[in-house]
């Protein structure tokens, strides 16, 4: 199957600092990557969709200046939470799709737990 990794798996940071989360497709080329946010005991909320080499498309209500997404290669996308605050604490999950996986199927990373103190 297609494997997606995330790094780090968990991170704790101080309020006001920035945090970068990496999402990698290990064995396929991901033309599209997705970033989700999941609050405790809730469903996944799509934050943004990124296509390799182009700007990310953000969902309504998601601050693009706060959640910076870069998809510079076919195997790597990054999410940077800028000037993090406690309300940004959440579980962030990425997914990826490409020609090999089928564009309507997304493969999910293991998630990153962000805690902002």
Partner 1 sequence: AQSVTQLGSHVSVSEGALVLLRCNYSSSVPPYLFWYVQYPNQGLQLLLKYTTGATLVKGINGFEAEFKKSETSFHLTKPSAHMSDAAEYFCAVSDRDDKIIFGKGTRLHILP
For partner 1, the closer of residues 6 and 75 by Cβ is 6
In terms of phi and psi (left: phi > 0; alpha: psi -120 to 50; beta: otherwise), the region of 44 is: beta
CB of 83 to partner 1, least distance (A): 26
Q: DSSP letter string over 70-112?
A: EEEETTEEEEEE-S--GGG-EEEEEEEE-TTT-TT--EE---E
Give the nearer residue to partner 1 in terms of CB position, either 27 or 103.
103
- If one asks whether residue 78 binds partner 1 (CB under 8 A), the answer comes out as no
Least distance (Å) between residue 51 CB and partner 1: 9
For the chain, the residue count is 117
Q: Which residues bind partner 1 (CB under 8 A)?
A: 4, 6, 32, 34, 41-44, 46, 49, 91, 93, 95, 97, 103-111, 113
């Amino acid at each position: 199957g297609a494997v997606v990794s995330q790094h780090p798996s968990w991170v704790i940071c101080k309020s006001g600092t920035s945090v970068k989360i990496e999402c990698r497709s290990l064995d396929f080329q991901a033309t599209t990557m997705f970033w989700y946010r999941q609050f405790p005991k809730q469903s996944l909320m799509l934050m943004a969709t990124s296509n390799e080499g182009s700007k990310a498309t953000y969902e309504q209500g998601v601050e693009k200046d706060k959640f910076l997404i870069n998809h510079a290669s076919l195997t790597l996308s990054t999410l940077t939470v800028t000037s993090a605050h406690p309300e940004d604490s959440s579980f962030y999950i990425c997914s990826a799709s490409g020609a090999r996986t089928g564009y309507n199927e997304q493969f999910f990373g293991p998630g990153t737990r962000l805690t902002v103190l």
